[in-house]
Amino acid sequence: MKTGQIIKSLSGVYRVEVDGEQFDAKPRGLFRKKQITPVVGDIVDIDFETHAEGYIQHVHTRKNELKRPPVSNIDVLVIVMSAVEPDFSTQLLDRFLVIAHSYHLSPRIVITKKDLTNETQRAEIERLLAVYQRIGYDTQFVGKEDDAQAIFNEWQPGIAVLSGQSGVGKSTLLNSYCPELALETNSISQSLNRGRHTTRHVELYPRANGYIADTPGFSALDFDHIDKQDLDDYFIEISEASEQCKFRDCSHTNEPKCHVKAMVEAGEIADFRYQHYEQLLQEISNRKVRY
């Protein structure tokens, strides 16, 4: 029995790295009966039928997990947005951040395609990123001229997952960091202002202080697992301000003596962030119950 980490999953076969060696393994038949599905990032125990192939006998407890795409034991979720093509959207960024926090992940923000922006566009994105920096997020605004090694080396050690909508440059970033991967990239659909999916499976690639995962791009974000009373926990500055609200269950909408709304009016909480909170709260409140 050996212990290793799943670094690739494709068609029911898992590539497991054990002490620098890689092996293909399949899960035990019992896993299906127990509804256990190994995912990339899992620490697993494997038994070998041959030197090259084995069976996964046990999946260790995960410290966190992203459901879509399925990756576990993530140390940093790198939310990749583009400055243009598709255009930068704080609303979309905030939705990604909410998803990240709801899964107990540590997000960082990377904005790509700086080289395609003009001076006015750059200034506006830097102004918006300053808002996120004040909240406490690590941010990077990068272009083709930036060294990919330097970009990646700023990220926390361990498993870093690249996430974001299609066409923002996730695979391009990976290609510039590790050219031998030659990952497929595609052009942007002008009518939809988004890219076509080019990554079709989840795989971990080695980096200086851990692994990096390229993941299929998101076309939709699912908030079904989030309760409306928990939403303010996923907006850092709203969560901090809510401790001084008069009512413990304050929704920060119509209640009197709401400290969050007072902070928004004073300019201490960005108005656009509060609007995105309100929109998501309404969306979750209007959600139909699934049976």
Q: Mark the binding-site residues, compressed into ranges.
A: 112-115, 164-172, 245, 250, 252, 258
Whole-number Å distance between alpha carbons of 102 and 232: 11
Q: Which two tokens stand for residue 96?
A: 């990604």
CA 63 to chain centre: 15
Whole-number Å distance between alpha carbons of 205 and 214: 8
Find out whether 141 and 64 touch, Cβ atoms under 8 Å. Answer: no
What residue type is 180 in one-letter code? Answer: E
* Neighbour-count burial for 29-60, b at 16+ CB within 10 Å, e otherwise: eebeeeeeebbbbbbbbbeeeeeeebebbbbe
In the chain, what's the furthest Cα-to-Cα distance? 68
In the annotated binding site for GTP, the residues are 112-115, 164-172
Q: What are phi and psi of 108, to 5 degrees?
A: -130, 155
Whole-number Å distance between alpha carbons of 15 and 123: 44
Query: Over the Cα atoms of the chain, what is R_g?
Result: 21
Q: How far apart are the two ends of the chain, measured CA to CA in Å? A: 42
Alpha helices in the chain, H assignment, sequence order: 29-33, 90-102, 119-135, 148-153, 170-177, 236-242, 259-265, 271-285
In the annotated binding site for Zn(2+), the residues are 245, 250, 252, 258
- Specify which residues 203 forms β-bridges with: 8, 214
Helix (H, G, I), strand (E, B) or coil at 44: strand
Q: What are phi and psi of 160, to 5 degrees?
A: -110, 130
